Structure 1
């Protein structure tokens, strides 16, 4: 088992880092090969998400609910335990439908609607106030940057994919604030509305640094309603007004067959020890909270780090199959 240790804890410098195997597919952050999945624009996809999206395993019910949300132009509220693939679903849809990179908005208790819509560099504008009279629409727009929600609502010909991650962590008002934007399909940038007589049009940077977005009279109106995935770990309830405007999907914890398919999709032809680790994972999951990606990590480690002995494989599995419940050990 000591052969797998790159860092040995001896304090003696060495070049063992060169022996580190290739990372698991979902931890690849850069590739020299250009990645383009959008029909017209390169939205700067990271290297790992096309790989992870292509390997995502989805069941028939989830497929039907995704299509329901697409047809109705409604947000998809996805619930389920941590690690069941709620966030990955957004990337899988973006990959398969060639809708460019996913616009991700991670939610905290401090998140506000404006955070998701846009940012305004008021100080930068004041520092260059003498230049405003000669400014062009592009110059005025450079003081603004759309957030992930604002970018998703821009008038693209194809829908963008917006992931609002962990909406259940938000302040109590945010879900209802989102409803107005989703219902109207537009939002206003007051700072641009006030100068609309001088600058009827402005060109604003999107969140993903793609082509500038044209803003008319301070308003951004969507052309194709975005595919919106709202994820929730069930930490709070949502008001009925919010729920009835969403398409709801619950992702259950995957069973043995789906776990085998997930391992195969992410790691290829699994070694014989994968079946043993799946059984161990299921046994431990029956006693406490575990996420599916912990199983993938265990299989990867067992392939690259463990010896042939079952005890070795069990040892590396124990390193990552730790309960997510704080009261479990």
Structure 2
């Protein structure tokens, strides 16, 4: 069982090595990188390439580790007991399975995505150490142990918003997705927009990387934002010669797809003003 990439996802050699190493070691693959570099999509493409089911657990700031295992609805059981509902007699009716339980319960290998783990509380990763290491957990309400019959492929993504605990990192195989160079991003554009005018792509990518290199930029545009921008350029039938080669002279066309906060817009406006004064 090896991941060799897919036609819909451009994966470099190092990324494929990392995925296959995590599969061989049967350890979670922790993937970090800038937002929009394809970390979440990686899990979907690994599942598609290997013909496996994908179970997605999207972590939020309020997510607790227990929710990935199960949740016990004591309030509903109390209400049903007061109403004389027969469901009250079986406590299992009030135990809601989480995503880890779903991944452990299947008899086939699956891909489990734990997306943006750094959004949750700092204790969240530590609370999952034993479950991800031993692939089992205990349900106190029913007295049963849920144990994975087949160890899932676990892919964990992080935007590096906060440091993860050392004990958690020791149990993972780590890979950082670097921002793609111009040749790789060109390939990614070709995958998403086959048949696109190559002279437009070259001109757009030249300006895109110039924008990313502007000193003082608060949020550099990502891969997904580059794809959105190029899609808009094609939709508006922008000619390559209409794109400014130097983004310091004015705001880039359709800049709302690339610049996502007012500080960066003001930065380009100031650069344009200074360029006009010097001119």
TM-score by length of 2: 0.80
Q: Distance in 2 between matches of 1:192 and 1:172?
A: 29
Instruction: Assess, with a 3 A threshold, how the Cα gap between structure 1 residues 105 and 188 changes in structure 2: closer, same or farther.
Output: farther
Residue 118, structure 1, aligned to residue 70, structure 2: yes
- SS in structure 1 of the partner of residue 52 of structure 2: coil
Aligned match for 2:148, one of 222, 247, 268: 222
Report the CA distance between 1:151 and its aligned residue: 1.6
State how 1:187-202 maps to structure 2 within 5 Å: 187-193=137-143
Q: Is the 8 A contact 2:58 2:116 kept in 1?
A: no
Q: Is the 8 A contact 2:59 2:120 kept in 1?
A: no
Report the CA distance between 1:95 and its aligned residue: 0.8
- SS in structure 2 of the partner of residue 77 of structure 1: strand
Q: Distance in 2 between matches of 1:263 and 1:76?
A: 26
Q: Is the 8 A contact 1:105 1:149 kept in 2?
A: no
Aligned match for 1:291, one of 222, 225, 228: 222
- SS in structure 2 of the partner of residue 328 of structure 1: helix
Residue 68, structure 1, aligned to residue 21, structure 2: yes
Report the CA distance between 1:317 and its aligned residue: 3.8
Residue 280, structure 1, aligned to residue 211, structure 2: no
Q: Distance in 1 between matches of 2:16 and 2:155?
A: 13
- SS in structure 2 of the partner of residue 306 of structure 1: coil
Number of equivalences: 247
Q: Distance in 2 between matches of 1:224 and 1:188?
A: 17
TM-score by length of 1: 0.68
Report the CA distance between 1:306 and its aligned residue: 3.4
Q: Is the 8 A contact 2:200 2:239 kept in 1?
A: no
- SS in structure 2 of the partner of residue 71 of structure 1: helix
| Aligned Cα root-mean-square deviation (Å) | 2.5
Q: Distance in 2 between matches of 1:114 and 1:253?
A: 34
- SS in structure 1 of the partner of residue 108 of structure 2: coil
Runs of 5+ unmatched residues, structure 2: 1-5, 245-250, 266-279
Aligned match for 2:171, one of 231, 239, 245: 245
Report the CA distance between 1:128 and its aligned residue: 3.3
Q: Is the 8 A contact 1:116 1:150 kept in 2?
A: yes
Q: Distance in 1 between matches of 2:176 and 2:54?
A: 24
Residue 318, structure 1, aligned to residue 270, structure 2: no
Residue 277 of structure 2: aligned partner: none
Q: Is the 8 A contact 2:43 2:111 kept in 1?
A: yes
Q: Is the 8 A contact 2:59 2:119 kept in 1?
A: no
Q: Distance in 1 between matches of 2:96 and 2:253?
A: 45
Report the CA distance between 1:227 and its aligned residue: 1.4
Q: Distance in 2 between matches of 1:152 and 1:226?
A: 7
More helix per residue: 1 or 2?
2
- SS in structure 1 of the partner of residue 228 of structure 2: helix
Aligned match for 1:99, one of 48, 52, 57: 52
Report the CA distance between 1:239 and its aligned residue: 2.5
Instruction: Assess, with a 3 A threshold, how the Cα gap between structure 1 residues 274 and 283 changes in structure 2: closer, same or farther.
Output: same
Q: Distance in 2 between matches of 1:295 and 1:328?
A: 16
Q: Distance in 2 between matches of 1:133 and 1:256?
A: 60
Aligned match for 1:145, one of 85, 96, 115: 96
